[in-house]
Chains A and B, each alone.
Chain A
Amino acid sequence: MKVIIVGGGKTLFFLCRNFTAKGYQVVIINRDKDECVQLSRQLSAMVVCGDGSDAGILKEAGAMGADAILAITPNDQDNLVICQLASLKFDVPRAIALANDPDNTEIFEKLGVSAFSTTQIVGSLIEQRASLEQILNLLPVGEGRVNVTEIVLGSDSPVVGKMLKDIDLPENALIAVVIRDNQPMVPRGGNDLQTGDRVVLITLPENHGPVLKALTGEQR
């Protein structure tokens, strides 16, 4: 898989390190000459110095054969144009833009560019963690229309000892995976839940609260 990342800073650095460790071929586009020198020393990625919203620079970075492009500069307008150029001019199959301003997520989607907002993701993570300490992980997918949540069942949970088919869950919610003693399994109605089980839930933002309440017994 070949990925082009446009941007800079720590997010880019760690993202790139992560991708190269997975064996992806990564090309970085960055405007700052000094940062480019640093990045090329520290990472095993190709670094192109220039404006990512310039078609010539995108071409130089090999946009023609790229599988995905990620625009994570601090300027939303640049991220939008980078993704539009990449998909319209170079047929990059996946172009994803960071929306620094959370309001722009919706706008970018309307303009045909898939977008994400770290503010929204981090914000909801913090909210969820602060309200329920059993929550280990929360991942919004489908542009935030679906939540994937991982929780640990405490001994005071009302569902401990019950079989899945006897648990009354709200509509549109699913217990997708149960991890017991590090052993993941996809449960069926005849499986029970025990204290210490890590449960992966699929919920919608609308029923997220009630589902969590049904499983943990806590308010909110």
Chain B
Amino acid sequence: MKSSRYIVVVGCGRLGSHLANCLSRDGNSVVVIDRVETTLNDLSPDFSGFRINGDATHMAVLKEAKLKNADVLIATTHEDNVNLMVAQVAKKIFHVPHVLARVFDPKREEVYAQLGIDTICPTSVAADMFLKAVTNGGKRQNGAAS
């Protein structure tokens, strides 16, 4: 089943543009916001959503993106603090039901979990995967023998 939700993606870098392309292809209405106009060109040609060139920490830009109608907001800029601010504004002021923020610093992630902001920390995720690969690597050799 294809879902159709209104999704706002903040930041159109490698992660943001990839997410926006995938979500748009799956049939969602997607709005992408980025401060730099040229990065919006990284979206694939079949991206059917809207592009907004502006600073997402300004209320006017978020209003332009009709954030109060959004089902999901994903904050993916390369600045943790921008993501955290936008996520909190989306949750507490625009009452967006589902808010996700990328946060690189694991220490910051802890604090925002307390505030009810869902965060994804690429640093911890990558660290976990590396650790698993290292331990599994050891096991795999054992497993291969059996």
Contacts and interface: CB of A to CB of B under 8 A. Distances in A.
Contact of A77 (B85, B105, B107): B85
A56 interface: yes
A162 interface: no
Contacts of A130: none
A76 B111 contact: no
Interface string B84-111: 1110110011000000000001011011
Interface of B: 57-60, 79-82, 84-86, 88-89, 92-93, 105, 107-108, 110-111, 114-115
Interface string A79-101: 01100110011000000000001
Contacts, number: 56
Given A81-B108, A84-B111, 18 more contacts: A53-B108, A54-B105, A55-B105, A77-B79, A77-B84, A77-B86, A78-B81, A80-B81, A81-B84, A85-B108, A88-B114, A89-B110, A89-B111, A101-B59, A103-B58, A103-B60, A104-B57, A107-B59
Nearest to B103: A81
A103 B57 CA distance: 10
A interface, how many residues as a size bin? 20 to 34
- Secondary structure type dominating chain A contacts: helix
Interface string A145-159: 000000000000000
A75 interface: yes
A107 B108 contact: no
A186 interface: no
Given A54-B107, A85-B108, A110 B92 contact: yes
